[in-house]
Chain A
Amino acid sequence: NAGVTQTPKFQVLKTGQSMTLQCAQDMNHNSMYWYRQDPGMGLRLIYYSASEGTTDKGEVPNGYNVSRLNKREFSLRLESAAPSQTSVYFCASSISYEQYFGPGTRLTVT
């Protein structure tokens, strides 16, 4: 039982490049989330998926897209990376109010 897994762990991109962050959970949770964590800003919700087949914007969705591929997987795509997207990205899942987090992806955009 791996919980929530994320790939990659680290990534460096040049401005304008695209990439997809992958997230998978094996806990049969309905809801999945993408957050970014920046110093002094706490966790900010980018997108979430309340159930398979649905996605909704969070607090900071600009510059990102998501896909809920199936119940297990929820990916985050940066179409044209910008330095302002340098951050640590966490995926989380939940079946109720408690959230379970993945190990994070540290992304640097130069």
Chain B
Amino acid sequence: AQSVSQHNHHVILSEAASLELGCNYSYGGTVNLFWYVQYPGQHLQLLLKYFSGDPLVKGIKGFEAEFIKSKFSFNLRKPSVQWSDTAEYFCAVNLAGGSYIPTFGRGTSLIVHP
């Protein structure tokens, strides 16, 4: 069965620390990859996406993610977090050319202390 794993359920950082959130998937075939963010009290919004091409993807607010096909991973990174990055982060995957329905990971709650 297709699955998406986010290994860090809760992450607590101080401002200016570096961030890396893990995402691994088990899918056969070519995949589309997403990171969504949910700020407190708000709805999910797209942070970045990868369909093809350069495996290093830049998103909004200084976030980036790297697709490593051999490791089935799509980790999210930010060199220096801010208090405003406090949010829940969801990795999502679907099969390229297949259904539009993604499989979501369980989410990582990030708290950034000022």
Contact = CB atoms under 8 A, between A and B. Distances in A.
A13 to B, nearest CB: 21
B51 interface: yes
A49 to B, nearest CB: 11
Contact of A98 (B9, B43, B49, B105): B49
Contacts of B44: 43, 90, 92, 99, 101
A75 interface: no
Given A40-B9, A97-B32, A103 B43 contact: yes
Interface residues of B, number: 21
Contacts of B46: 98-99
Interface string A37-49: 0001111010010
Given A33-B101, A40-B9, A104 B43 contact: yes
10 contacts: A43-B107, A45-B101, A48-B101, A50-B100, A94-B100, A97-B34, A97-B102, A98-B34, A98-B49, A99-B46
Interface of A: 4, 31, 33, 40-43, 45, 48, 50, 58, 90, 92, 94, 96-99, 101-104
